[in-house]
Amino acid sequence: MKYCIDLPNFGAWSDPRKFAEFAKQIEDAGWDGVSVWDHILVWDGAEVADPWVLLAAAAMNTEQIRLMTMVTPIPRRHPWKLSRECVSLDLLSEGRLTLGVGIGWPTDPEFTRFKGETDVRTRAEMLDEGLEILTGLWTGEPFGYSGKHYELEEVTFLPRPVQQPRIPIWVAAMWPKKRPVRRAANWDGIAPILVFDPDSDRIDPLTPEIARGISGYIAEHRISEDHFDFAVGVPTPDGVDLPTYVAELADAGVTWWRDGWIPWSGTTYEEWEERVLSGPPTQ
């Protein structure tokens, strides 16, 4: 099991210097990664930073932890621009980038205010096409693309990423929706994996039993025998011993535990910070 701290790219974390300083603190505390959300407008007047600038600042201030986006919505980005950002950060960090991707949420205001695509099925198509373009450009070979949503004349992008055959890609999903999980099975990992109750719009804790079911479903639909990451995080079930709970998740196939502060959790930020800077929840 590896351990990651998950931070929003708005509010207090919109300051790249503060983000970089905290990334160094959690690296020193024994965490294995830092992930950052990728939002552009949370609410009017919110202080929001570009996630790639935040991760670049963290890359310059750390040496070992992995740097991740959780998650980048490809449907509101140009895949060719995202390709340049990813490779630049991979070079800067000497191969420590993991790209988390999804269709983007919430639709309003992040798509509606900028006349972006509001249909989620269409965004799912754009995500799939965008991933084909990203991985094609990362090869450093001549690449062109003609799809339903994107057109790209043949072009060669250099330099190549440090990580070969490519930068790892994790795909977001909400269980029990199966299609996003099948999409993730085609890549290198699944995260964030949330258990969503559509009747109440509630996000429930992931139990080891549910995690085991997801692991089995991924195994059924995965073609590659390469390593696959399964990353989960808060919320946690009430009353659990965190190290024991995380160990049970590991037995169920989970490879990354992600921790982040949730304002409505009942835990103050100061309590959360003290806990995570004491190190990850290992037994």
CATH classification of the domain holding 135: 3.20.20.30
Domain-located, residue 281:
no
Any residues with CB less than 8 A from the CB of 246 and at least 6 apart, and which? 1, 254, 257, 281, 282
Domain-located, residue 52:
yes
Radius of gyration of the chain (CA): 18
pLDDT of the chain, 283 residues: tens digit per residue: 999 999 999 998 999 999 999 999 999 999 999 999 999 999 999 999 999 999 999 999 999 999 999 999 999 999 999 999 999 999 999 999 999 999 998 899 999 999 999 999 999 999 999 999 999 999 999 999 999 999 999 999 999 999 999 999 999 999 999 999 999 999 999 997 888 877 777 888 899 999 999 999 999 999 999 999 999 987 788 888 999 999 999 999 999 999 998 776 778 889 999 999 999 998 6
Dihedral (C-alpha) 162, 215, 196, 184: value to the nearest 10 degrees? 40
The pLDDT score that the predictor gives to residue 40 is 95
Eight-class DSSP state of 33: E
The pLDDT score that the predictor gives to residue 268 is 87
Q: How far is CA 105 from CA 22, 40, 108, 117, in A?
A: 26, 11, 8, 12
The pLDDT score that the predictor gives to residue 203 is 84
Domain-located, residue 80:
yes
Domain-located, residue 222:
yes
Any residues with CB less than 8 A from the CB of 147 and at least 6 apart, and which? 129, 132
The pLDDT score that the predictor gives to residue 283 is 60
Structural domain harbouring 77: 2-276
Domain-located, residue 283:
no
Domain-located, residue 282:
no
What total number of domains does the chain contain?
Answer: 1
Q: What is the distance between the alpha carbons of residues 83 and 146, in angstroms, rounded to a whole number?
A: 17
Domain-located, residue 160:
yes
Domain-located, residue 156:
yes
